[in-house]
Amino acid sequence: MADRFAIILAAGKGTRMKSPRPKVLHEIGGRSMLAWSVALAKDLGCKRSVVVVGPDMPVLSEAAAKLVGAENVVIQHDQLGTANAVDAARDALKNAEGHAIVLYADTPLIPKEAGERAFAEIETGASVCVLGFRAKLPNRYGRLVTTTDGSLEAIVEANDATEAQLQIALANSGVMSAPVRLMFDLLREVKNDNAKGEYYLTDLVGLARARNLRAAAAQCEERDVQGVNSQAELAAVERVFQDGMRDQFMVAGVTIPAPETVFFSHDTKIAPGVTIEPNVVFATKVSVETGAVIRAFSHLEGAKVGPGALVGPYARLRPGAVIGKDAHIGNFVEVKNVTIGEGAKANHLSYLGDGEVGAGANIGAGTIFCNYDGFFKYRTVIGEGAFIGSNSSLVAPVSIGAGGYVGSGSVVVEDVPADALTIARGRQSNKDGWAKTFRAEKSAAKKAGQKPDGAV
């Protein structure tokens, strides 16, 4: 099979986004739209991906270089239309032999199957292939005019279409594939004799037909090529992505009683048999194993949840959180970079940062891992079966031995041996009658208009 290449157009200014961030760096499912296109090219087996950016886009250029390498980022200096943008990749692909696909960095959800269909037409003899879709409301789209044998005859813009052509539902997505050498050869013939004075990639179809070469149309769903030009459209594409993920997980056996309230990232991994209650957010790099329950209003990022574990409600798992089999992380508990052992529990109002909790350990309400001194982070290690009393502060670096007990309200600054009890708090003393005397004295002073020093 011939080598494959991708040309990803990302030079649009995105002024309708009204955002200081470049348009194609806005995210869908926790991944930038540009990264979606680069990932698609990789999934399609493209040998190289060239990203075309506009001038004076240093932030975008830097982001693109991290994804494809600086040598594969080129600038469309004049920005005179889509054909001009693709032509900006000419030098980068001057030695390329094979087939290329033109993708748009603001069209992030094109599935691999659609790209494969576009390449397949070229690999079976077509000179140019355009990816089309059947639009529910095609009025604003260019139409793909096909012949009786299914070949692509022309692309007609809506403003130029006849009444008969306006009845065509097959619309142009803009995605195009062609042999690399032929694509750049045809680009030399594109003219800009139109109202905008721009060079249009769609002209390649007519130019190929003029050479008696066959053009083809591959098809995908309208939702697959939904583009983004505004914040509202960004939200609309996010909805398409989220709906797809929800359906995918439920079909696979994940229980989601209120799917419209649960949000996933592009790389979320949920095993069959997991239950996800309402209003849960999965940021990137989260995996949840079978039998786990993620209760309502929890937020997970960079975390691994083991089989049978219970998380939430109102829990926050931050990067590095590893929740073991049958462990419990309860309401208003935050875990960051801590491994929670099998069957361990932290059920209430705690912060666990940087450390390790052994199997079967119990973390009482209000426990804090004091892991930061203003400059460095330190680890807290709690042994198997240890018991940490409520409202305890464990000042790292510190370890609690297996089976050790920490009395409630303790501030622990030294290691606790296995099976030992530590009580690190002031000794209680009771003064009989003190409160009654205090109230009487203060009431009398207030009645007499007397204020103690410092009172306001």
pLDDT at 117: 97
Same domain for 304 and 372? yes
Residues 265 and 162 in one domain: no
Which pLDDT does position 277 carry in this prediction?
98
Chain segment 393-418, per-residue pLDDT in tens: 999 999 999 999 999 999 999 999 99
Residue 144 structural domain = 3-225
Per-residue pLDDT tens digits for 126-183: 999 999 999 888 778 889 999 988 899 999 888 888 888 888 989 999 999 999 999 9
Residue 440 domain-assigned?
Answer: no
> Residue 359 belongs to a domain with what CATH number?
2.160.10.10
Please answer whether residues 190 and 243 qualify as being in contact, where contact means their C-beta atoms are separated by less than 8 angstroms. no
Least confident of 49-53, 145-149, 271-275, 308-312: 145-149
- Residue predicted with more confidence, 160 or 91: 91
Band of the pLDDT at 93, cuts 50, 70, 90?
A: very high
pLDDT band at 195 (very low <50, low <70, confident <90, very high): confident
Mean pLDDT across the chain = 96
Final residue in a domain of this structure, among 204, 225, 246: 225
Asked if residue 74 belongs to a domain, the reply is yes
Domain containing 26 — which CATH number?
Answer: 3.90.550.10
Q: What's the confidence (pLDDT) of residue 148?
A: 84
CA distances from 12 to 76, 82, 166, 196, 200 (A): 10, 10, 28, 16, 15
The tokens for 322 are 């590893």
pTM: 0.92
Does a structural domain hold residue 205? yes
Number of domains in the chain: 2
Tens digit of each residue's pLDDT (9 = 90 or more) over 238-275: 999 999 999 999 999 999 999 999 999 999 999 999 99
Which residues participate in catalysis according to the annotation?
A: 348
Does 412 fall in a domain?
A: yes
- Specify whether 220 is located in the same domain as 284: no
